[in-house]
Structure 1
Amino acid sequence: MANRSYLYSADSMPNEAEIPQRIRCISEHNWDIPLAHKLMVGRGTTIVPSMIWNPPIGIAADYAEGAILLRGLLRAVGKGLEEEAEFTECVARTTAHLEKQQAKYFLLETGEIVSMTGDDPAASVRRLAYEDIPDTVAKAEAAIAGQNDDWLASVRADWQQHFASFYSEALYYSFPN
């Protein structure tokens, strides 16, 4: 079985007492937390209780702002991939799914990924939420503004790893509505 990061949306954040009423599936990605997931939880990022595991290793963020950030980077990446039909299809599927599953918050479940390192999961999520994700957002913002061409070229060269995750209404961990 692959370890995955899971991305959901909901109109409220999980808390110690309960998980949100309606959780929509967005995406899952094998063996890593991809760039796209990091960008989607890159605005208003906060650590929340996991909806799947016991430690507080979930990450919540503003849905609308995260989606705007991702779409901006996809446009910048696409400027070098105009002839790449697979990229164009990936962007169309991703953006259509994000529109359909829209809510107030993105909810990123990190448990399977942070457990692979052997480090303390809560400490790993703090580093992810408050160091790695803000650094990634800053690089993306600079690239969108035309100020980080080398980073943008590296993302463009490996776009499948960054953006071609599994987007679906049903993930390995889905929640009844």
Structure 2
Amino acid sequence: MNSDPNNQNNFEHSEYFDKENIHHKMEPVTAAFIALIGIFIFYQVGGAILTILIFGFNFENADINAMRLLTMGGQILLMLLPTLIFARFVYPHHITQILRAKLPQAKEVGIFIVGLILLLPLLQSFMILQNNLLEQISSTFPLLKQLMNLLDQMDKLLEKTYSSLLKSHSFFEGSFVVFLTAVVPAICE
């Protein structure tokens, strides 16, 4: 065991993390795909059902703070909790070793920022190309055109709902919005 406290891989070689002694019930790659797909569907469908049950279809008149709390609770209940349960199933005796967190190094943060700066224009170009392609295809198929109109209406409603969720009128409310939109999703995802 390397006892140098400055060694970044020291944790991986310590008694807390022994890769050879970690036993899993299914292959990690398979578990990752099952978790990603399953929890995504569970969060989307479960969140939609929960929202409709609590607020109905009239989102515009719903209490904004209740919507914020539902959003935060939904992320914890429908993303974080199933992830922890699934991780406990896949790694029954080594959950602490698998779900550890560490602070990123400055180099990793720098690579992330550069990658983000490079990807944003690419993603915007892809979105423009996708929208143009969908418009051309929908002009030839009337059923697709109706579906596109329905999706556009839903997108406008969603955009209006998110803009009201993100609006704040005080420092405390602004801090809560940042916590709701940045911290909670970062932990849950």
TM-score (norm 1): 0.25
**Which protein has the bigger strand share?**
1
TM-score (norm 2): 0.24
Larger radius of gyration: 2
